[in-house]
Amino acid sequence: MTHYIYLVRHGEHQDAEYGLVDGPLSPRGRRQAAALADRLSGLAFDAVWHSPLERASQTARAVAERMPSVSPQPSALLFDCVPTGMTDDTPPAFEPFFGSITEAEIDAGRAQMADAVSEYLVRKNGEVHELLITHNFVIAWFVREVLQAPDWRWMTLNQAHCGLTVIAQKQGRPWTLLSHNDLTHLPKELQTGLPDPQPV
């Protein structure tokens, strides 16, 4: 018996166009969410959790429209957050990212992700399928945790809008990363949200 957690970043939202911190899904984001819902529609989820922010809530509703048996629930543990600040091991190239982020925000993010790991990365009995619709940094932290990578490595793990990451744990074994940022359900024009490749 295996416990599966499906981690999904919300669909594209309108912040880039309108400068909003949060907002509704863009037309492309709604198409991404619909494609995700089609991809997941054959699975019987035991629970669906989502960030309370509008972009994640709307993505969860799109999934629920295609799976009437699920009832998505908001969780404050899945809010967008910054899980760490600069550490002794963090490459200096990442320092500018933290320029506008306060120590209080970092402390809150660190505490939130510690609680999220304690809440979700806990083995449940039987065959379990859970869906978490959340944010790029939150998923990156879960993946870093599963891989037991250094804290700063979450900054190098990026997810596209409605990309699908799957982690799993068999009884008595550690958590395993089964797939990361799977985009096969999204046509090329719907693959957004990843940083531009750096020039070589």
pLDDT tens digits, one per residue of 26-52: 999 999 999 999 999 989 999 999 999
Q: Measure the CA–CA gap between 24 and 57, rounded to whole angstroms.
A: 9
Determine, yes or no, domain membership for 194: no
Classify burial at 24, counting beta carbons within 10 Å of its beta carbon; exposed 0-12, middle 13-18, buried 19 or more.
Answer: middle
**What's the pTM?**
0.94
Cα of first residue to Cα of last residue in the chain, in angstroms, is 44
pLDDT at position 19, please?
53
pLDDT classification of 16: cutoffs 50, 70, 90: low
pLDDT of residue 200 exceeding 60, the answer is no
Determine, yes or no, domain membership for 193: no
In tens, the pLDDT along 87-111 reads: 999 999 999 999 889 999 999 999 9
Contact 35, 160 (CB under 8 A): no
In tens, the pLDDT along 143-188 reads: 999 999 999 999 999 999 999 999 999 988 999 999 999 999 999 9
Determine, yes or no, domain membership for 146: yes
Contact 117, 142 (CB under 8 A): yes
Q: Indicate the number of domains in the chain.
A: 1
Residue 87's domain is classified under what CATH number?
3.40.50.1240
Closest CA to 65 of 40, 92, 101: 40
Place of tokens 């409605």: 162
Determine, yes or no, domain membership for 197: no
pLDDT classification of 18: cutoffs 50, 70, 90: low
- Helices 54-66 & 27-40, crossing angle to 10 degrees? 40
Q: What is the mean pLDDT of residues 121-148?
A: 95
Q: What is the mean pLDDT of residues 12-17?
A: 72
Q: Measure the CA–CA gap between 39 and 185, rounded to whole angstroms.
A: 6
Neighbours of 103 (CB within 10 A): 9
Contact 38, 66 (CB under 8 A): yes
Angle of CA points 96, 102, 103, to nearest 5°: 110
In tens, the pLDDT along 59-79 reads: 999 999 988 888 999 999 999
Determine, yes or no, domain membership for 134: yes
Q: Measure the CA–CA gap between 138 and 85, rounded to whole angstroms.
A: 14
Range(s) of the domain holding residue 38: 2-188
